Amino acid sequence: MTDDEMIQGVIEGNASAFDEFYTSTKAHVERVASFFVGDEDSMPAVVVGGYKRAFDQLALGKKPDIPLRSWLSILTVQEAFHVLKDMRISYDSQTKAMEAVAGQVPMLQEITQDPKERVAYMVRGDIDDMPEPHRAIMMMYEIEGLSLLELSKRINCSWCGAVSKLMMARQVLVKRVKEQFGL
């Protein structure tokens, strides 16, 4: 069955076309989703959501005007983007929380007024005492200055997986600082 026949069969509600559509594309959709949310709990939801988008559009009679797998890639990334965006928002709010904690440390208040510099000093002061693998991740991101994309490449992890590990390492650091200074 060709791609066009599968798409036409799905539009007509043919059960065998649905089966063929899914079995022939699921490995591709899984691969696309794993780049972004590979080792996260939300990955099944992303794959299912991608297929839901595809079936919804085909139910309306909208045939893709690009190759089937490229079209499914777009739909899967659109579905994964919600997870990425939520993670970005959590990451940004955690950054602000770290700056707030660093601003409460008296020693750092004397050193500089820049909140980002305070965070950098705070990280350098406690990073050696952090447990692995949090220390390695904090080293790569805060000391070496890798971006989130480079971090995911370095630890061979999906984008969400890298951000998730970085946020966990930051939590460990903040907890140590709060315990040290009684915040």
Binding site for other proteins (CB under 8 A): 10, 12-15, 18, 22, 26, 30-32, 34-36, 38-39, 43-44, 47-48, 51-52, 55, 59, 66, 70, 73-74, 77-78, 81, 84-85, 88-89, 91-92, 147-150, 152-153, 156-159, 161, 163
User: CB of 123: closest distance to other proteins in angstroms?
Assistant: 16
Residue of 65, 72, 66 whose CA lies nearest to 24:
72
Closer of 108 and 170 to other proteins (Cβ):
170
Euclidean distance between CA atoms 144 and 153, whole angstroms: 14
Euclidean distance between CA atoms 122 and 131, whole angstroms: 16
Decide: 37 and 43 in contact? Cβ < 8 Å. yes
> Is residue 133 reached through a cis peptide bond, with omega within 30 degrees of 0 on the bond before it?
yes
Amino acid 48 reads V
User: CB of 101: closest distance to other proteins in angstroms?
Assistant: 20
Closer of 34 and 171 to other proteins (Cβ):
34
Closer of 71 and 130 to other proteins (Cβ):
71
